[in-house]
Amino acid sequence: MLNDRPDMTGDFFDEFAESARQQLFGVVPEQVARLHRDAASLAQYRSARLAETLSFAAEHSAWHAGRLSSLDLEAVTPEDLRSLPIMTKVDVMDAWDRIVTEPRLSLDAAQQHLARVEDGGLPLLLEKYVVFTTGGTTGRPGVFVWSLEEFARWGASTIRFGIDAGDPPAERLT
């Protein structure tokens, strides 16, 4: 069984919500600080993270390993991004199980998890991953998985501008 807690009622929901809130607001200071990096520091950070991301993808994803095998991943710069092979939503959905970098994840498990969430089940797959789906306007819904930490970083990046401008963060995340 992928989830060992059957639903999101009572104390567990409150603990989950508080943990998610703490993770989100825990990374806000780092996200706000990023707004004030000088150009040289930002360029160095972007290059290092790009090399790290490409290397991780090539090492942990069979699909990415194949499509990136001819590249010197340490030499790729942000300026080279346009020359890299793209990954479309069709690619993601057709090769989902070969693309993901977490061996315990599969498209079937993610879709089963989404069905359980709709029935009031635990929102985290494997107690770690948030699963999203698109509306399917292109004919096929996309299924995307982020760790709770990755989701918190994304959330913090979306609210950092207001916080940097002096707006207080919302009391409740909706």
pLDDT digits (tens, 9 = 90+) for 17-70: 777 788 888 888 998 998 999 999 999 999 999 999 999 999 999 999 999 999
Q: How far apart are CA 133 and CA 131, in angstroms?
A: 7
Contacts of 114 (CB under 8 A, 6+ apart): 131, 133, 143
pLDDT digits (tens, 9 = 90+) for 109-139: 999 999 888 777 777 899 889 898 988 887 8
Is pLDDT above 60 for 4?
no
3-state secondary structure (DSSP) of residue 138: coil
The amino acid present at 48, given as its one-letter code, is A
Chain position carrying tokens 């994840």: 105
Q: What is the pLDDT of residue 78?
A: 93
pLDDT digits (tens, 9 = 90+) for 66-105: 999 999 988 999 999 998 889 998 999 999 999 999 999 9
Q: Nearest-5° angle of CA 61, CA 96, CA 1? A: 100
Sign of CA dihedral 80, 84, 89, 95: negative
